[in-house]
Structure 1
């Protein structure tokens, strides 16, 4: 079939860019155009094309697989019932291979079924086929599926490259619209996007995030971007909204140099290694101190706090890895103390988290904690070590203020018997174990 300029997508590219000269004339060679082939291939020909590597299901700008088996099964059922399917859109690459820009999920459902990856489930019109793999179907039904023709529109390689991605963005606004990171994955394609995806597979990062595989909707990549954006600009140049801040970072570094990519990769990996060593899977969860009704503190069991992610990961990029590693216990204590004792910090990670005020405060607060721990030249430390706290807890986990048992070591604080500000020394003989809440409440009373 001959290649021809697309006609039926005029409404799709109505903001087509046209370069004009000073007289307003339109140079033909500068007009952005789309050329297409329209075909009706059977499913089995596309299946074989994919097997040969001539049809790419997951180009770098595509979303990750999100269809469940019930939805895949309904698609197969529709084909058996000979229900017409929407158009599939492909894009021809310079090397002649074709990439799927709309219809990836449907084709993946077809190909996986033909490969006997899953059996049919949840069918209502053809319930007798539930539980059947492709190999279990009768021959006529197999032939029906293999020979089923679908309409494809292929954007030829002669077409303007940027328009191909603009069309992809508009095509994917239907039943399962793209989230912010999936849109960025499409719009800001290139070396930087590929680097973010690479870093999202870092073993330490995945362990901290509790991931065994890439997150289907690319939220894991978005958090890597959050790290990178604050690494590049720092919080001092942050301006709301967060989405705009992240978009700007992707735009600015879309063609990142190899040198800058190496620096970012090293900073990210060092930060993840340190965080995993310091606090593990609780890294980006808030720690709650107790209250009058329940004095026992606890880690947030489910909710991930992006604000904590931002400050914790950024902070370690400003210090030598070995220096941080040597002081992880003291840093860990300072981190938990921020979440239990600093009311303004708590406010900044819970309410209006993307406001300039909240972002600035929480980054400043964490910066000061790290500076106090890592830059201290005092011969008399302010805080007791975690080793001493663990020893006191193992010996007698009883709060010396309320006389009740402390449930876990993270909920314990080591307090000065003779207060530090009155000259008390930070030595084991002047240490007592308390609940974080009891120690916090006592300090409030002392101030009052």
Structure 2
């Protein structure tokens, strides 16, 4: 993503990735609050061992489910044919690959932290999913899939040794996250949600996937977040779940940053001892209710800035999604429908004239004061509209 120039808070700026609009409004950070608050590492907590694996061993681990290639993480698998072929050529030429990083969990499972594109490419090639093209040296192998290679070349690829730095399970999650940020080397740097996805477990990933695939979410967001290239769809859902599950909004202050809250929520979801299956089911039901109600009230303008006097359809605003989604989840549709016109009118007035509210949905959105403002404004608008019936 390329940084956009600073703009006034009432100016909507859409995020762009590799020259393409993403359908999501940029959240500008004016201060340091919204950044991850780090504490110094205790060196005794960091456990990283270095191991050597053959590619055959690693490929078997992938096939057996002992090594995870970050399911649903699509952006790291968009190498062009030339990049894929040149990687395979390097292996056939016995050129050593840069080191990989794996994270090991307490059950002995491994997850790729750095090197996902390279391992995905090798795995795809051995499975016969592409043939070699645009090689630099091995012209005789052009057009060949793995099974077309002569036996010595197949053995050479299988026997290639790779160096893997393994982040051991005793390393705290917070330290693992920061290690990931430091060693991530592949192309465009990963954002916080992409790192969180790669480091989390199947329970939270499955819940977020279920939420973003829900018809009500796709309807409320007009499908613009479908399979989002920067995982902003999953981040938006996680933000909803994080704030919905807070017993009191004041508790947000204790997390020091939005990213810390999202990390903690992910860890809770991944631990059935903290969040039961029944609780997850109730969270999902609330999410569906919030999304459906937002669509009912705001129609095509749900979760978009829609100030009075303008009918421009802006990009999705994550601060609006999290706050209005949570507030509307507390109501039944039949309660809201009669108050729809008043809710819309007051929300549009706030987006046009309430400078504090405009700031709260535009920049430094992780600041506790701005979090409280956007939730309180949405809650007051709905309560007053329903009470006035």
- TM norm structure 1: 0.60
Say which of 276, 280, 284 aligns to 2:295.
276
CA 1:34–1:285 in structure 2 vs 1: closer, same or farther (change >3 Å)? closer
Deviations 1:141-188 (CA, angstroms, capped at 9, x unpaired): 963664451225596xxx963339656862562314543224444666
CA 1:16–1:369 in structure 2 vs 1: closer, same or farther (change >3 Å)? same
Post-superposition offset of 1:330: 4.5
Where structure 1 has 5 or more consecutive residues not aligned to the other structure, the ranges are: 1-12, 18-31, 291-296, 378-448
| Partner of residue 350, structure 1 | 362
* Matched position secondary structure for 1:66: helix
Say which of 145, 151, 169 aligns to 1:161.
169
Is the counterpart of residue 79 in structure 1 residue 91 in structure 2? Answer: yes
| Partner of residue 154, structure 2 | 143
CA contact (8 A) 2:66 2:110 kept: yes
Is the counterpart of residue 110 in structure 1 residue 126 in structure 2? Answer: no
CA contact (8 A) 2:114 2:184 kept: no
Range that drifts further, 68-77 or 310-319: 68-77
Distance 1:351 1:50 in 2: 42
Post-superposition offset of 1:273: 1.9
Post-superposition offset of 1:207: 4.2
Distance 2:169 2:343 in 1: 49
Say which of 232, 236, 247 aligns to 1:223.
236
Say which of 335, 344, 348 aligns to 1:323.
335
Distance 1:171 1:348 in 2: 30
Bigger radius of gyration among the two? 1
Distance 2:199 2:110 in 1: 19
Post-superposition offset of 1:305: 1.8
Say which of 374, 382, 386 aligns to 1:362.
374
| Partner of residue 244, structure 1 | 260
CA 1:279–1:74 in structure 2 vs 1: closer, same or farther (change >3 Å)? farther
CA 1:235–1:131 in structure 2 vs 1: closer, same or farther (change >3 Å)? farther
Deviations 1:70-105 (CA, angstroms, capped at 9, x unpaired): 243432232233321134455777877765454333
* Matched position secondary structure for 2:44: coil
Range that drifts further, 266-275 or 181-190: 181-190
CA 1:341–1:82 in structure 2 vs 1: closer, same or farther (change >3 Å)? same
Is the counterpart of residue 180 in structure 1 residue 192 in structure 2? Answer: yes
After superposition, residues 184-195 of structure 1 pair within 5 angstroms as: 184-185=196-197, 189=201, 191=203, 194-195=206-207
Distance 1:264 1:118 in 2: 42
CA contact (8 A) 1:69 1:120 kept: no
Distance 1:274 1:356 in 2: 26
* Matched position secondary structure for 1:287: coil
| Partner of residue 170, structure 1 | 179
Range that drifts further, 278-287 or 307-316: 278-287
Instruction: State the Cα RMSD in Å.
Output: 4.1
CA 1:120–1:278 in structure 2 vs 1: closer, same or farther (change >3 Å)? farther
Post-superposition offset of 1:270: 1.0
| Partner of residue 58, structure 1 | 69
Where structure 2 has 5 or more consecutive residues not aligned to the other structure, the ranges are: 1-40
CA contact (8 A) 1:192 1:250 kept: yes
Higher relative CO (Cα under 8 Å, sequence separation at least 6) belongs to 2
After superposition, residues 343-422 of structure 1 pair within 5 angstroms as: 343-377=355-389
Distance 2:331 2:184 in 1: 46
CA contact (8 A) 1:69 1:118 kept: no
Post-superposition offset of 1:313: 0.7
Post-superposition offset of 1:139: 3.8
CA 1:133–1:280 in structure 2 vs 1: closer, same or farther (change >3 Å)? farther
Is the counterpart of residue 335 in structure 1 residue 343 in structure 2? Answer: no
CA 1:56–1:351 in structure 2 vs 1: closer, same or farther (change >3 Å)? closer
CA 1:336–1:249 in structure 2 vs 1: closer, same or farther (change >3 Å)? same
| Partner of residue 263, structure 1 | 282
CA contact (8 A) 1:349 1:362 kept: yes
| Partner of residue 68, structure 1 | 78
Deviations 1:186-230 (CA, angstroms, capped at 9, x unpaired): 666575565344433323224444357543543322211211222
Is the counterpart of residue 204 in structure 1 residue 209 in structure 2? Answer: no
Distance 1:268 1:149 in 2: 48
CA 1:183–1:59 in structure 2 vs 1: closer, same or farther (change >3 Å)? closer
- TM norm structure 2: 0.68
